[in-house]
Structure 1
């Protein structure tokens, strides 16, 4: 078993990666930077990104430590089913490209709070801008930093706190160049992370086949399916121990849609890549990202399943133990990479770093965009010049990253250590606000009668409902719901001995329905009183697609249907 160290050769490979990314980023900055650039040019790279840069940047920003470490850890525990987040996202991206992006571009929407301000009012926009800042820093930025540092520490043997600071510093360097630098360097990041990820999968399958006295990737995959059949089901039954995380058909017809549509369609961090382009370019980039999404389980899920079987065969026991002796799924991917030979280990190390840095840079840029354009310019200094806004945006990046570092130091291990699934942590706590956000976005798009007070209800009420459904099983006996797989209380001597919460994906579905119903009722009452909401420019011609896009969308959908049919 290789030690948790990097050789001189590994560091040399990583240094080459660092020089290429930093050098290319500096070249892009010098070539495309304009001293008189507007704030929109800096934050959105308006009109500068090609379809392939948009698609690559979408994936590079999405695929980070939460996938390489979190998703692989969840695959170790529950198997292929965690791929639903990737494969359903591919179809979601098609929907976003067809129905969401045209609305944003036609109405010249550049940030999500701007959409809420124009569609509803400034109060809703300001509340959500603050919500998003807190969510991005407390949940996303902190989790990416901690999980990323955990992985890099597990591979290199470096102190985890040093890794947190180093990742943050590298990300700040990339982010300060603006969206142009982020977008174009993400093309390199995606190439590196895909190559490194495929290498980890190759290693895992080859190792499995060699342990059984055979050779080849296909033999390794056959062994994996044969000896870990419980890890190759996409839809869980109610008796599955992982049902709470992925409750049956909810991944196809329930809360998974809310998770994905909110993330890919109503999220500044993601949509920002496409908002500076024309419709054809934006749609092309998003479709390219959908195809890349289909590949992601090969890179981030398959290694986790392989690590599980290798663990069952006696490997990784020491590497995967937490400080308290608990098996930690988050250490599955680093344990696997430690088996790579010199050079290849450095490349995989670079791939992991690329994924983390790209995601951190994208997140920090979105934080700076929302704070600068939607809070500072609107509420603090409406007369601020573009030069002032760009300068403030850069300082916002630094401040946000420092806060992320501090949160990682203080609560990272408590929330995502000791055998907990980091990926599920991110999904669940983002889900406290996403149902309400998605409700007011979808009604804001397609129902002109939705009012600002109704949106305010979804914003605040959605969060309150989420907290209620999260906490109510602790105080209310919901055992009567157990036949439906929602919640169960086991009582012994009048004391609770076992508690199952409502699965968070189901919880999101309940909250979304309540928010939509509440918005409908409030809007109807206000409409009757003569309240006329602000409307957006929406017509059916906006949703027409080219033949090439339609063909690509059908191919993506067909592949997803085939995958679910095979691995049901």
Structure 2
């Protein structure tokens, strides 16, 4: 039944008031007359480890997880949980190796990193690209899918839902990262509580269907009766192999997806960039533990819906246009919740969408204000001006998303697939540019430019390669599969792996060929003892002292940065142990 009852509205109103009152309290308490742009965009020094961790998850989990991953659970099974569980492992790597580099070098935005490591051209190209990606792909899909999900549960008009979600998110975002970070703690509480309520209902329904009771009994029936949906690694004969191609999820393209998303993404890293290293690492580790929990909330309900559908339930509710639509699994379950509990799950979904919208809008405002407006339009802008420009950008981005979202066909592709497809065209090149920039000092700016542009071109090439080349010879190795019409396509994650490997190889070749030029870019010989930089290194001493002048380009990186505390090491080992156990049990 697509309506909310009085009890549901009361529960939702309580959630809304808690968020609004707490957010206003945080804003008033943390407000400073001398607040800088870094205070507003990054909440510099203000977020605790638990606020950072909660904000990471609240920003990450949205309608595409609740609706899209539950739908994938219905279709693919537990294997889709690899996006969540491998993310937990990725977060540990980001905390150990990526965050120390950002914090040590006082990096606040990803374009700033590129400018410091490479040059302003690479930085500006990527700043514009990220703005387009965040507004046209991410912000619109979060808003539209969220509104669709809420409409399917409440019966409220789609446009009203879009405007309401956008307005709610704007109110939170205008308070700055402090308000976003701390209200995200409550958002995550409702997200998990409401999500667990849906899982509880789904498992109870399975249990009752087979004449027993209790969620443990339901889960046991689920693993016995839908055993085909509890395999993490697909073999080549699996019809869903193209989506999750075997060991690629453990040793291939899945790492590129996750490392790029969690380590090279303003939307995510921004939560930790305003903290000290210990706090940032603690928050990221907390987020990793929460990621381990997410499949219970966003995948298990989809598998339960699959089993119940197979047993004759939801036969009409799951249909769309005469065919089964897996993305209907979660809304169908939510509509079966009793009054009050449905309101809680409704609040959880809204919390997930609003938190993601707020985080994305803040990142858009940060990049535009600090990396474009301040550098191109007003280099002398004061701190108050920058904060005001950020607020205007938030409103403008959200209005643009409302206008264009209905025209992108997001619902036809499926939200999770939509986001992965479009970001996947550029992720390999971006990650190659970042990873070599971090750990290979000889990487040049031209090599980075190739990764930026060439990575995208290579991704498009591999996408359309099957239309003019027979790739059946790759089938035996698992790198291609018949799509059902006689055309052998390369699985999406494998395409990303190929593009990343090629980008790294060509970046190395370009950098080595430019070796002499790279050295001349870094040093300048000056026959003048009075006009050189303070950090200049004396090379020779004679009547006219020759001085080797070192430019400021480059990053400060040393191995001591990567040392962790014993507490972090123990937490990381627990997560790795859990991952090994889960993949062993459900291989």
1:453 alignment partner, one of 428, 446, 453 = 446
CA–CA distance in 2 between the matches of 1:500 and 1:425? 22
CA–CA distance in 1 between the matches of 2:23 and 2:189? 15
Offset at 1:30?
Answer: 1.0
1:285 alignment partner, one of 283, 295, 315 = 283
1:415 alignment partner in structure 2: 410
Q: How does 1:30-429 map to 2 (within 5 A)?
A: 30-322=28-320, 324-411=321-408, 414-417=409-412, 420-429=413-422
5+ long unaligned stretches in structure 1: 491-495
Contact (CA 8 Å) 2:151, 2:158: kept in 1 or not? yes
5+ long unaligned stretches in structure 2: 523-552
Name which of structure 1's ranges 11-20 and 156-165 shifts more when overlaid on structure 2. 156-165
CA–CA distance in 2 between the matches of 1:288 and 1:407? 36
1:15 pairs with 2:13: yes
SS at match of 1:75: helix
CA–CA distance in 1 between the matches of 2:139 and 2:224? 39
| Superposed CA RMSD | 1.3
Name which of structure 1's ranges 162-171 and 38-47 shifts more when overlaid on structure 2. 162-171
Contact (CA 8 Å) 2:481, 2:491: kept in 1 or not? no
CA–CA distance in 1 between the matches of 2:351 and 2:575? 26
Over 3 Å counting, the alpha-carbon distance change for 1:89 and 1:497 in structure 2 is closer
1:513 alignment partner, one of 501, 525, 530 = 501
2:491 alignment partner in structure 1: 503
1:540 pairs with 2:559: yes
Offset at 1:500?
Answer: 4.2
CA–CA distance in 1 between the matches of 2:507 and 2:204? 54
Per-residue CA deviation, residues 200-227 of structure 1 (Å, 9 max, x unaligned), is 1100000111111101111100111111
1:478 alignment partner, one of 457, 465, 471 = 471
Name which of structure 1's ranges 136-145 and 9-18 shifts more when overlaid on structure 2. 136-145
Contact (CA 8 Å) 2:73, 2:302: kept in 1 or not? yes
Contact (CA 8 Å) 2:472, 2:488: kept in 1 or not? no
Offset at 1:409?
Answer: 1.4
Contact (CA 8 Å) 2:471, 2:489: kept in 1 or not? no
CA–CA distance in 1 between the matches of 2:251 and 2:400? 37
Offset at 1:427?
Answer: 1.5
1:493 alignment partner in structure 2: none
Per-residue CA deviation, residues 390-447 of structure 1 (Å, 9 max, x unaligned), is 1111111111111211222112xx2333xx4421221222111111111010111110
Offset at 1:74?
Answer: 0.8
Over 3 Å counting, the alpha-carbon distance change for 1:313 and 1:489 in structure 2 is closer
1:554 pairs with 2:573: yes
SS at match of 2:570: helix
1:466 alignment partner in structure 2: 459
Larger radius of gyration: 2
Name which of structure 1's ranges 532-541 and 50-59 shifts more when overlaid on structure 2. 532-541
Over 3 Å counting, the alpha-carbon distance change for 1:232 and 1:489 in structure 2 is closer
1:433 alignment partner in structure 2: 426
1:444 pairs with 2:437: yes
Number of corresponding residues: 556
CA–CA distance in 2 between the matches of 1:135 and 1:154? 27
Per-residue CA deviation, residues 97-156 of structure 1 (Å, 9 max, x unaligned), is 000000000000000000000000000001111111111112111111121111111110
SS at match of 2:487: strand
Per-residue CA deviation, residues 488-537 of structure 1 (Å, 9 max, x unaligned), is 568xxxxx944342111000000000110111011111113344463210
Normalising by structure 2, we get a TM-score of 0.93
CA–CA distance in 2 between the matches of 1:39 and 1:57? 20
Per-residue CA deviation, residues 146-192 of structure 1 (Å, 9 max, x unaligned), is 21111111110112222122111111111111000000000000001
CA–CA distance in 1 between the matches of 2:471 and 2:148? 38
Normalising by structure 1, we get a TM-score of 0.96
CA–CA distance in 2 between the matches of 1:438 and 1:32? 35
Name which of structure 1's ranges 152-161 and 77-86 shifts more when overlaid on structure 2. 152-161
CA–CA distance in 2 between the matches of 1:550 and 1:179? 28
